[in-house]
Amino acid sequence: MGLIIQIGNRIINGDLKPSHAIDFGRAAINQLKSGERLLNNEEIAPRILACSGCPANSNNWCDICGCNLELKWRFPLESCPSGYWGPIIVNSIIPPLGKCGSCPQNK
């Protein structure tokens, strides 16, 4: 089954295996729960560079985890299964649960 995702004006096409859909769903849910914003082009540049020479990179699809790298690079909490790059903590767009400052225990 084909996967077509649009990020801005860029279209990503590829084959989607059931395990890939599950992994992507997990990553997307973790991204939403974290409140972290997506990484910008400057922030993903080191990830792109690290993946560019990796033998597991098949046209921006990882042969190890099955993820589309163009998407995975944007999720700050994701990491490379081979250890070439790890999570990046960026400014949250929403506070983590219980950390908004309006709860009595946070004052």
Query: Who's near 58: CB < 8 A, 6+ residues apart?
Result: none
Written as tens digits, the pLDDT of the chain (107 aa) is: 455 665 556 555 555 566 666 777 787 787 778 777 889 999 999 999 999 999 999 888 888 888 889 889 999 989 999 999 999 877 655 555 555 555 555 44
Closest CA to 82 of 107, 104, 105, 50: 50
pTM, 2 dp: 0.65
